[in-house]
Structure 1
Amino acid sequence: MKRLKRSLTGIVTLVLCLTLALVGCGKADQASKQGQNGDEVLQKIKAEKTLVVGTDATFPPLEFKNDKKEFDGFDIDLMRAIGKELGAEKVEFVDTEFKGLIPGLEAKKFDVVASGMYITDERKKAINFSDTYYPGGLSLLIKKDNQSINSIEDLKGKKIAVQIGTKSVQFLQENYPDIKRVEVEKNVEMFLELKSGRVDAVLTGLPAAKVYAMQDNSVKVLDKTLTNEEYGFGIRKEDSSFTQAVNKALKTLKENGKYQQISKKWFGE
């Protein structure tokens, strides 16, 4: 009888241990899922009060360094406003070459990418994007006194400067392989190539092309954009809760008028 009682006691103890183990596993799984869906990023922001942003600060008016060597631009101001909505008291920017932004994001060097990045199917294979925050499109920039170029068709057999890792490269490869690409590392280098006469045109995003043309009256933007694009903030695929939080913050900024203030500052009416 004593042996039976001991056996029953052992079985009950074993069942209790297994139950506690399963509960523990369940909590661990839940914690793992929270880390996978982006709660990890939100918790980091909550704990450290800091949002870390990857950007290639060579693309005015979206992102660049001003005369004081400070990060400045539309994306910079907008990301600071989003960071405030997320509870971040400080937004840090990590200056990274454009081609290194997605690898850097995946390596967790920063929480998000804000760098005039178009939302594309190819990029979606590696990362997710926020809702679009500004419309763009590829445009051609040429010298103002050049009367022989009125469209991209006139550039066949000629040279166009493009930035490595951008949609411009892919666009020319797929649609105009007979146009010679002059690929450069930095956005500003494209404009220098044009000014020096080493290329016949620059292919870049419309906002950057327009602002550069306003600053330098020796160049002009051709009227017709070549593509219709949308800019988005790059976010890691597993950070779904963080993505939702960024989208909510962006919506709030549009509703309270702050987004419009930032847009007007950089693009006018």
Structure 2
Amino acid sequence: MKKFFMLMFCVVMAFALAGCGGSNEKNASQAPECKVLKVATDANFPPFEFYQEQSKVHTGFDIALAKAVAKQMGYEKVEFVNVDFKNILTGLQDKKYDMAVAALSITPERERLVDFSEAYAEDGYKVIVSKNSKLGDDFSALAGKTVVAEEGSYAEEFLKSKAKDVKVVPVRDTEAGIKLVAAGKADALVASKIVASFFITHNYSAKVKFAGETILDKDKYGIAVAHGNQEMVKKVNEALKEVKRSGEYKNIYSSYFGN
């Protein structure tokens, strides 16, 4: 019986070591080393990325895609670092993480700071107003109004450059903007159509709505890495290509956005 339990102990230890890529060359007393990819995200942007308090895990389309890409690149584990959106690019420049997956719009301004993979998703930006508002849904309707947008986002960027006579107020995230609009503290919010739809459908359908069908602007999202790291960009692009070729991308997309 003692031999049986000793055998079972050895089997369990063998699996424990193998589970994180342990090496046969390491001493038994040493913990196995994982090949870890450190990824920055801002978990306040559902359904792209959000944090589940109950299970204490990051989830969302970007999170699932990052894991699939990391696996294709040979990483055994992904460590997600939650960062305020406005600080993500600075952190990449300072090499605090390997890459960022946070629904980052690919823009000329950002491409001067970091390098991007090929685009992996598209989005559009719409005007969100209070439930009883009669405000229009285009740039001319926003003139003279107080409009909120996520700080550091593409929405804030194009509002400041394209919308005339608009007071643009930055907020922490889309939900914070929705709350201000619902409370009458801002005339409108300009935000991702996908993300705003998520919040309106799940929590705020009685308080806010889309002002109309107009798409103020469109953009494409990419995975960001430190500027000049073309080797990393190449690896990410190759991994993305394989994730799409295998059908895994389609499955992930369907899980969060439907068909």
Corresponding residue for 1:93? Answer: 80
1:54 to 9, 15, 40: 40
2:108 to 121, 138, 155: 121
Corresponding residue for 1:20? Answer: none
Say whether residues 1:64 and 2:50 are aligned partners.
yes
1:244 to 223, 234, 238: 234
**AA paired with 1:191?**
I
Say whether residues 1:185 and 2:175 are aligned partners.
no
2:196 to 195, 202, 209: 209
Say whether residues 1:220 and 2:209 are aligned partners.
yes
Corresponding residue for 1:253? Answer: 243
User: Which deviations, in whole Å up to 9, do the C-alpha atoms of 1:208-242 show, x marking residues without a partner?
Assistant: 12212222323323312111210011111222111
- Normalising by structure 2, what TM-score? 0.81
Say if 1:97 and 1:186, in contact at 8 Å, map to a contact too: no
For structure 2, list consecutive stretches of 5 or more residues without a partner in the other structure: 1-32
Distance in structure 1 (CA, Å) of the matches to 2:119 and 2:243? 13
Distance in structure 2 (CA, Å) of the matches to 1:166 and 1:186? 9
Corresponding residue for 1:235? Answer: 225
Distance in structure 2 (CA, Å) of the matches to 1:168 and 1:234? 18
Q: 1:145 Cα shift?
A: 3.0
**AA paired with 2:45?**
F
User: Which deviations, in whole Å up to 9, do the C-alpha atoms of 1:78-110 show, x marking residues without a partner?
Assistant: 001111111111101111111111110111110
Normalized per residue, the structure richer in helix is 1
Q: 1:48 Cα shift?
A: 4.2
Normalized per residue, the structure richer in strand is 2
Corresponding residue for 2:14? Answer: none
Corresponding residue for 2:19? Answer: none
Distance in structure 2 (CA, Å) of the matches to 1:83 and 1:73? 15
**AA paired with 2:222?**
G
Q: 1:189 Cα shift?
A: 1.1
Distance in structure 2 (CA, Å) of the matches to 1:174 and 1:83? 36
* Off by >6 Å, runs of 4+ in structure 1: none
**Pairs aligned (count):** 223
Say if 1:128 and 1:234, in contact at 8 Å, map to a contact too: yes
User: Which deviations, in whole Å up to 9, do the C-alpha atoms of 1:1-53 show, x marking residues without a partner?
Assistant: xxxxxxxxxxxxxxxxxxxxxxxxxxxxxxxxxxxxxxxxxxxxxx7411100
Distance in structure 2 (CA, Å) of the matches to 1:143 and 1:172? 19
